[in-house]
Amino acid sequence: MSQPACIEGSCMKEACVEGDSENRQEKPGFKGPGEVSFRSFRKHESSLTLFNWIGLLLFAFFLFMTLFPFLLAPYAPNERFIPYEAPSGRHLLGTNDIGNDILSELVFGARISITIGFVAALISTLIGTVLGLCAGYFRGSIEELLMGFTDVVLLIPKIPLIIVLGAFLRPNIWILISVLGLLSWESTARVTRSKVLQLREAGYVKSAQCMGFPSYHIMISDIFPNIIHVLFPKFMLAIASAMISEASLSFLGLGDINMKSWGIMLSFAFFRGGFIRDMWWWYLPPGICITLCVLSIALVGLGLEAKEKECSEEGANTL
Amino acid sequence: MLEIAKKVTRYFASFMLITAINFTLPRLMPGDPVKNLIGEDAYVSEKVTEELRAELGLNMSLSEQFTSYLSSLLHLDLGYSYHLHAPVAEVLLNKMGWTLLFVGISVVIGSFLGVFLGALAGWKPERKASRFTSFAFVVISCIPPYFLALLTLYIFAFKLGLFPSKGFYDTPEIGSVLYHLFLPTCVMSVFSASRNFLVMRGSVIQEKEQLYALYARAKGLHDTGILFRHIVKNASLPIITLLALDFGFLLSGALFIEIVFSLNGMGLLIYDAIMGKDYPLLQGAFLVIAFTALLTNMLADLLYALIDPRARRPA
């Protein structure tokens, strides 16, 4: 899932959420808590479509691949055989230019690709959440400053910047992760802020303030648990976008060559003759794996986001 | 008025941030700043290195360096590429035209395609065709653009032999250029449409619940009339913002597609610069792309005010 699309989605959501919160205060109607939870529960069931389940299943499969690669891979990723071999019984996907078994490489590559996406998304979600929480809770000049900063960062094109940074720094998996993580928190920050703006008027936050709890305590123990369900889909989409960025950067030779992720495999296949020699078993599998993995994560993320949207429309008085 | 001031400050801050990044990078990065400024693989002797240090002003204080950097930037001097033996601005200007042409055509086609299909899919989301297009576009947006380019290059150029596999033209005529650009433009348009589609679909779904749509229906207007004469106008407003915010992303996607199709634009230039560690060129390219993105966003803001009267009127 691409970053600015999510950003735009979040802007729109922001607008409608803010509108919602105004409407809500006028509504005097109140339902019993049991009824609400039952209705929203049923809604959840129906909103997870077949596609989301497929996504979940695929994601579970890739997660398994990440955690236990040695169970699925026939050989070690750096074991060497005869190079440029076509798929056969011994090597299901053939071998590459230096004679590594491509299937094993693929299975072990999952760990690297997914780790990069996961950690980068974790960093960006963390930064976005902290900034959004502070901006939404404190309001005033802090909000102006933080959101202004977010807008400023939003205007800088990310991938060109990452390319320049990656060229200056030696390609290294940790640099890649931190650069990807540090540059993609804006949409999370905006969504968090709009949600916090809505929550800070809630009764339990007001009572916590009256009882004299410090702000950081209210933010952590009262507001944060109530925005997790918004953050989680954002987090999933951030993983997906970080994985695509990683694949793109690896294609340019800016990845860590010692850590063979799917992007690096694809780049090697393209620049080291797999494409010219018509070796589809070399360049197709990593590309398909990236696509499927990103797709599964995005489907789960989108499904959760849709669910969250329905919830917020449905359960106006769960606040 | 306050809004405008806010916007201007933000653009200015972005501008300063970009220049500051570009200024500090070669000076902060590990290694000799001279090497970082002229590029790693450019071979120079000890004596020349010292001369360059003086010439590049690296022995001055940082603040002096920054002012001289800004002034050279305002003179459109982006440095000198020691690999290509040409000023960076000149090299970039040469290639930029092709890339912008390629991106421009694709973005226009992509946004029309995305808006049209997105509107249809959002109008009746429960229909089979709408579901299919939605799923297809989600899948496309999950494929790294260069992989999509690779696949089409393989199928249409290598296997079927319908299209040429590299370059902008054989002979510099419009027919030849169009023939060469067809495949990359298709890939790029689909890529850009996939991003517009999802936003447009969501926007139409929201917009069709509005009262004016209901009124149009009560008036007896048929479906296509309501959708394309009333709803699309309002629903496509977010697309303008999206296109602007997306510009940097689309441009970088175009770079990858150019590399795959061996189009001699910015993409290959940047790829060669990375391979040869030609830092001045990379920095110049980043600066130009960032400023173009900034400019696009400004244009979008103006366009927004022009198209949507609500944005002009104070709330």
- C-alpha B145/C-alpha A263 separation (Å) is 12
Q: Which residues of B touch A298 (CB under 8 A)?
A: 138, 141-142
CB contact under 8 A, B270 and A5: no
- C-alpha B261/C-alpha B165 separation (Å) is 6
Give the residue from chain B lying closest to A153, CA to CA.
B14
Residues in chain A: 319
- C-alpha A102/C-alpha A105 separation (Å) is 5
- C-alpha B75/C-alpha B89 separation (Å) is 10
Question: Does residue B294 contact residue B18 with C-beta atoms inside 8 Å?
Answer: yes
What ipTM did this prediction achieve?
0.84
- What is the distance in angstroms between the Cα of B274 and the nearest Cα belonging to chain A? 6
CB contact under 8 A, A8 and B139: no
* Nearest residue to B247 (alpha-carbon basis) of B200, B294, B193, B212: B294
DSSP string computed for chain A: --HHHHHHHHHHHHHHHHHHHHHHHH------HHHHHHHHHHHHHHHS-HHHHHHHHHHHHHHHHHH-HHHH-SS-TT-B-STTPPP-SSSTT-B-TT-BBHHHHHHHHHHHHHHHHHHHHHHHHHHHHHHHHHHHHH-HHHHHHHHHHHHHHHTS-HHHHHHHHHHHSPP-HHHHHHHHHHT--HHHHHHHHHHHHHHTTSHHHHHHHHTT--HHHHIIIIIHHHHHHHHHHHHHHHHHHHHHHHHHHHHTT-S-TTS--HHHHHHHHHHTTTTTTT-HHHHHHHHHHHHHHHHHHHHHHHHHHHHHHHHHHH-GGG-
Helix axes A173-182, A224-251, angle to 10 degrees: 130
- C-alpha A155/C-alpha B245 separation (Å) is 7
- What is the distance in angstroms between the Cα of B230 and the nearest Cα belonging to chain A? 19
**Any B CB within 8 A of A255 CB:** no
Question: Does residue B78 contact residue B87 with C-beta atoms inside 8 Å?
Answer: yes
Q: Which residues of A touch B199 (CB under 8 A)?
A: 5, 8-9, 12
- What is the distance in angstroms between the Cα of A212 and the nearest Cα belonging to chain B? 35
- C-alpha B232/C-alpha B236 separation (Å) is 6
- C-alpha B235/C-alpha B247 separation (Å) is 20
Q: Which residues of B touch A290 (CB under 8 A)?
A: 143-144, 147
Q: Which of residues 205-234 of B touch A (CB under 8 A)?
A: 206
Question: Does residue B142 contact residue A240 with C-beta atoms inside 8 Å?
Answer: yes
CB contact under 8 A, B290 and A161: yes
Q: Assign B96 to helix, strand or coil.
A: helix
What is the rounded (10 degree) CA torsion for A269, A270, A272, A276?
110
- C-alpha A113/C-alpha B115 separation (Å) is 33
Q: Assign B236 to helix, strand or coil.
A: coil
Q: Are strands B86-87 and B80-81 parallel, antiparallel or unpaired?
A: antiparallel
Tell me the mean pLDDT per 10 residues along chain A, length 319.
37 36 37 41 52 87 89 80 79 80 88 92 95 90 89 86 82 84 89 90 90 91 90 91 89 81 88 78 89 92 81 54
Question: Does residue A319 contact residue A197 with C-beta atoms inside 8 Å?
Answer: no
Point out the residues of chain B with pLDDT beneath 50: none
Lookup: tokens for B157: 């150029």
Q: Which residues of A touch B242 (CB under 8 A)?
A: 4-5, 8
- Nearest CB among A11, A248, A294 relative to B146 is that of A248
Lookup: tokens for A102: 């491509």
Q: Interior CA angle at A210 toward A205 and A212, to 5°?
A: 100
CB contact under 8 A, B144 and A251: yes
**How much is the pLDDT for A313?**
64
**How much is the pLDDT for B40?**
64
Mutant choice from B22, B103, B249, B262 vs A, greatest count of A C-beta within 10 A? B249
**What residue has token string 């090697």?**
A268
Give the residue from chain A lying closest to B282, CA to CA.
A164
**Any B CB within 8 A of A218 CB:** no
**How close are the terminal C-alpha atoms of chain A, in Å?**
31
- In this structure, which amino acid lies at residue A14? E
Question: Does residue B155 contact residue B74 with C-beta atoms inside 8 Å?
Answer: no
